[in-house]
Amino acid sequence: MSTVLQSLSTELADAVESAGRAVVAIHARRRIPASGVHWRPGVVVATNHTISRDENITATLPDGTTAAATLAGRDPGTDLAVLKLAGQKVATASLRLDPPPKVGELVIALGRPGPSLTASWGVVSRVNGPWRTWQGAEIDSLLRLDLAIYDGFSGGPLIDGVGRVLGINTSALARGVPVTIPVATVERIVTELLEHGTIRRAYLGIGTQQVRVPESLARKLELKGDLALLVVSLEPGGPADRDGLLLGDVLLELGGAAVSDAADVLAQLGGEGVGKPLAARVIRGGQVKMLQLTPGERPTSRAA
């Protein structure tokens, strides 16, 4: 029989075995535990949606022992959570930041929904560009996977053929479709959560809809483009409401940049934007008006 087939089989099992030494089970919800990856010494990365309690969290380590873990912070936006695991001898994951995963690359998803390690294999089916989740979190390049999901998939690592970690798997970011949050994003979120405990995200508390400004008005107001954003909802007492933005205002520019869809607005916010005023150019009652909008910090449990 083929030695190539046998070599592949052995290498896959080797990759699973070595990467599996850094995969733990996280007990923080009812029923089936989820997975976590020992990312840095004493730091375990898991998924936010599988951690339903903030206290009494335990981890089952690869050697079968149980250890207490404490929640260092969580980010619903990227569905990541960071836990601390003190004084345990667990291998640290070997991360692959470069080269980036390619479409068609053979990958394995690991999980530990209890004492035993689980694996499923498949390929990377898509590599997205920078992408914002519905809660405004930025993910550098989300990976879509063609593989089967088993219990404990979320919070487990996606690994390559030699056992290096490509990211953290979750089934909660894309309506049940298996995706992987890439290493670069996980690194950024882990650093921020360890420092601040939360991910600060600026927000205005508005809902908008793209509209086309009538040509005559666009000419009269000397607009560069004719697409703009109609303010269709306003969070009562939210940052934009406090700063005097009204329902029905048409947002043309924010922070000096033209805005024609919601992503343009999010691009002006980010984590550093909290408390920094942005100049807003709006059409109100047929006239152009300038306003100062100061983004607030997005409450973690709320959308918009």
Partner 1 sequence: MTASVTAGLAQGLAAAVDELRHITVQVRTRGAATGAGVLWNGGESGARGLVITNAHVVRGDRATIELSDGAVARARVVARDRKRDLAALEFEPGRAMAATVVRDSPLRVGELLIAIGHPGGLVGAATLGILQATESAREGRAPRWIRADVRLAPGFSGGPLADATGRLVGVNTMMQGNLALAVPAAAVEAWVRHSHQPVAP
Q: Whole-number minimum distance, CB 255 to partner 1, in Å?
A: 47
Q: Whole-number minimum distance, CB 25 to partner 1, in Å?
A: 11
Per rule CB under 8 A, is residue 63 in the interface with partner 1?
A: no
Q: Which amino acid is at 24?
A: V
Dihedral angle, C-alpha 291, 245, 260, 270, nearest 10 °: 80
Q: Whole-number minimum distance, CB 104 to partner 1, in Å?
A: 10
State how far the Cα of 298 lies from the Cα of 97, in Å rounded to an integer: 30
Per rule CB under 8 A, is residue 1 in the interface with partner 1?
A: yes
The encoded tokens of residue 204 equal: 């205005």
Q: Which of 211, 284, 293 is nearest to 247 (CA)?
A: 284
291-293-299 Cα angle (round to 5): 155
| Cis-peptide, bond into residue 99, ω within 30° of zero | yes
Q: How far is CA 168 from CA 78, 111, 140, 179, 215, in A?
A: 10, 10, 13, 8, 48
The encoded tokens of residue 148 equal: 């089967």
Q: Which is nearer to partner 1, 170 or 268 (CB)?
A: 170
Q: Whole-number minimum distance, CB 107 to partner 1, in Å?
A: 12
Per rule CB under 8 A, is residue 135 in the interface with partner 1?
A: no
- Taking CB under 8 A as the rule, which mask of x and - marks residues 95-114 in contact with partner 1? -------------x-----x
List 46, 57, 69, 117, residue binding partner 1 (CB under 8 A): 117
Residues 261-300 that bind partner 1 (CB under 8 A): none
Q: Whole-number minimum distance, CB 15 to partner 1, in Å?
A: 6
Per rule CB under 8 A, is residue 120 in the interface with partner 1?
A: yes
Q: How far is CA 56 from CA 47, 69, 230, 237, in A?
A: 17, 8, 46, 36
- Taking CB under 8 A as the rule, which mask of x and - marks residues 6-25 in contact with partner 1? x-xxx-xxxxxx--x-----
Q: Which is nearer to partner 1, 65 or 292 (CB)?
A: 65
Helix, strand or coil, per DSSP, at residue 256 = coil
- Taking CB under 8 A as the rule, which mask of x and - marks residues 147-166 in contact with partner 1? xxxx----------------
The alpha carbon dihedral of 71, 77, 80, 86 has a sign of: negative
Which range in 143-151, 185-193, 196-204, 281-289 contacts partner 1 by CB under 8 A?
A: 143-151
Q: Whole-number minimum distance, CB 70 to partner 1, in Å?
A: 26
The residues facing 25 across adjacent strands are: 35, 60
The residues facing 138 across adjacent strands are: 132
Which range in 5-13, 30-38, 218-226, 282-290 contacts partner 1 by CB under 8 A?
A: 5-13
State how far the Cα of 110 lies from the Cα of 169, in Å rounded to an integer: 9
Number of residues forming the site for partner 1 (CB under 8 A): 29
Applying CB under 8 A, which residues contact partner 1?
1-6, 8-10, 12-17, 20, 108, 114-121, 147-150
